[in-house]
A = this chain, B = another copy of it.
Amino acid sequence: MSHNSFGKMFRVTTWGESHGPALGAIVDGCPPGIPLSEALIQPWLDRRRPGSSRHVSPRQEPDQVRILSGVFEDDRTGGPVTTGAPISLMIENRDARSKDYDAIRDKWRPGHADYTYDAKYGLRDYRGGGRSSARETAARVAAGAVARQVLGDAVRIRGALVQIGDLAIDRDAWSDAEIDRNPLFSPDPGIVGTWEGHLDQLRRDGSSTGAIVEVCASGLPAGWGEPVYGKLDAELAGAMMSIPAAKGVEIGAGFAAAAMRGEDAADEMRAGADGPEFLSNHNGGVLGGISTGQDIVMRIAIKPTSSIRVERRTLDRDFNETTIETRGRHDPCVGIRAVPVAEAMMALTLADQYLRHRGQIG
């Protein structure tokens, strides 16, 4: 993981700015013979797409993906499969309104990367946040769809929103089926109305809110991951923290583990039909950096976006004190669209660790 690349064996490099002509991803190291087509990728992009409900940015982007390389007809089935060559995925930007951003050309939005990009690079593409825009995550989701194909049906990855502001779901009401039935990825049908009301109020206030995403992978075998610096949970933590606006990451019991005693935290084992059966999952499916075969369960804290209409104090590029109200089209809760992005990062990390495991162990 460095610069704009993620992964070692299954390696993704993304490119593109929020208001440039297009953005994309190169997936390198993908095994050959894996079924892949634009139709298999598109549904995942549609889940992340702006403009899909009143609770996300109204920017109208069809986010149609094109596969430019790395896929060819299979001799046997005639269907398109990966060839082992790099897969180039491209998504055009259609609804960029750069003039909305003239106001921030010479000011730094507090809580944004505006100042740090200027500090590092000496210049920045200010249109829509340029490279620092969360629009880059479309490329992650597209690449994540390829990773899902590599992992196959046995591995299931699903994310959900478990908290908006201080409004947490009722975990006893959890329903996987519910997640895709509401525009907020809530697994708890009872809280959807409350959340929608809260978001409507925030939008009227010109404000925004934080949230907590939970993402779970099930069905992977025991043994994936690498000690010591390539630990599965360490790489997942890095992957999740690379999501725009992420401020915290935990696995299994997470921060609650700090208050536990050893006899409560250890996940006891009994003999199951296909290997160990664990009596709890406080470790979130990873021990010593290697998967146990249990569900991998992570939570990611997402801060409220700083692109708000409420006036805030800031500086201009000449270090003069000023104030700013951010216009443009923004999500009042970026945590919503972070759900499919967190799923994608889970898929990318697992696909990479899978291939690395296969390389070392056979």
CA A275 to CA B224, docked complex, whole Å: 35
Q: How large is the interface on A (under 10, 10 to 19, 20 to 34, 35 or more residues)?
A: 35 or more
CA A308 to CA B291, docked complex, whole Å: 22
Known: A1-B230, A2-B229, A115-B292. A361 touches B72 (CB 8 A): no
Restricting to A1-37, which residues have a CB under 8 Å from any CB of B? 1-6, 8-9, 11, 13-17, 20-24, 26, 28-33
As a 0/1 sequence over residues 190 to 208 of chain A, the CB contacts with chain B under 8 angstroms (1 = contact) are 0000000000001000011
As a 0/1 sequence over residues 141 to 168 of chain A, the CB contacts with chain B under 8 angstroms (1 = contact) are 0000000000000000000000101100
CA A20 to CA B312, docked complex, whole Å: 50
In angstroms, how far is the closest chain B Cβ from the Cβ of A60?
Answer: 21
CA A113 to CA B211, docked complex, whole Å: 32
As a 0/1 sequence over residues 257 to 277 of chain A, the CB contacts with chain B under 8 angstroms (1 = contact) are 111111111111111000110
A110 at the interface (CB under 8 A from B): yes
With CB as the reference atom, state the residue of chain B lying closest to A116.
B290
> Copy number in this complex?
4
Restricting to A117-160, which residues have a CB under 8 Å from any CB of B? 117, 119-125, 130-132, 136
Known: A116-B291, A287-B115, A315-B271. A262 touches B26 (CB 8 A): no
Known: A257-B304, A262-B310. A271 touches B230 (CB 8 A): no
CA A112 to CA B335, docked complex, whole Å: 33
Stretch from A44-52, A171-179, A181-189, A350-358 forming part of the interface with B = A350-358
In angstroms, how far is the closest chain B Cβ from the Cβ of A54?
Answer: 18
With CB as the reference atom, state the residue of chain B lying closest to A132.
B288
CA A303 to CA B281, docked complex, whole Å: 13
Set B123, B242, B283: member contacting A289, Cβ < 8 A:
B242
Are the CB atoms of B241 and A247 closer together than 8 Å?
Answer: no
Residues of B within 8 A of A270 (CB): 313, 315, 321
In angstroms, how far is the closest chain B Cβ from the Cβ of A299?
Answer: 8
With CB as the reference atom, state the residue of chain B lying closest to A278.
B110
Are the CB atoms of B131 and A262 closer together than 8 Å?
Answer: no
Are the CB atoms of B33 and A265 closer together than 8 Å?
Answer: no
As a 0/1 sequence over residues 216 to 250 of chain A, the CB contacts with chain B under 8 angstroms (1 = contact) are 00000111111111110111111111101011111
Residues of B within 8 A of A261 (CB): 165, 202, 207-209, 304
Set B26, B116, B166: member contacting A288, Cβ < 8 A:
B116
Set B2, B212, B284, B358: member contacting A358, Cβ < 8 A:
B358
Residues of B within 8 A of A117 (CB): 288, 290
Set B228, B241, B289: member contacting A249, Cβ < 8 A:
B241
Set B28, B257, B293: member contacting A302, Cβ < 8 A:
B257
Restricting to A76-123, which residues have a CB under 8 Å from any CB of B? 81, 83-88, 108-113, 115-117, 119-123
Set B109, B120, B248: member contacting A257, Cβ < 8 A:
B248
Are the CB atoms of A33 and B123 closer together than 8 Å?
Answer: yes
A-B contacts, 12 listed (Cβ < 8 Å): A13-B13, A85-B125, A85-B227, A110-B266, A113-B289, A116-B225, A120-B290, A165-B261, A212-B255, A257-B304, A262-B308, A282-B303
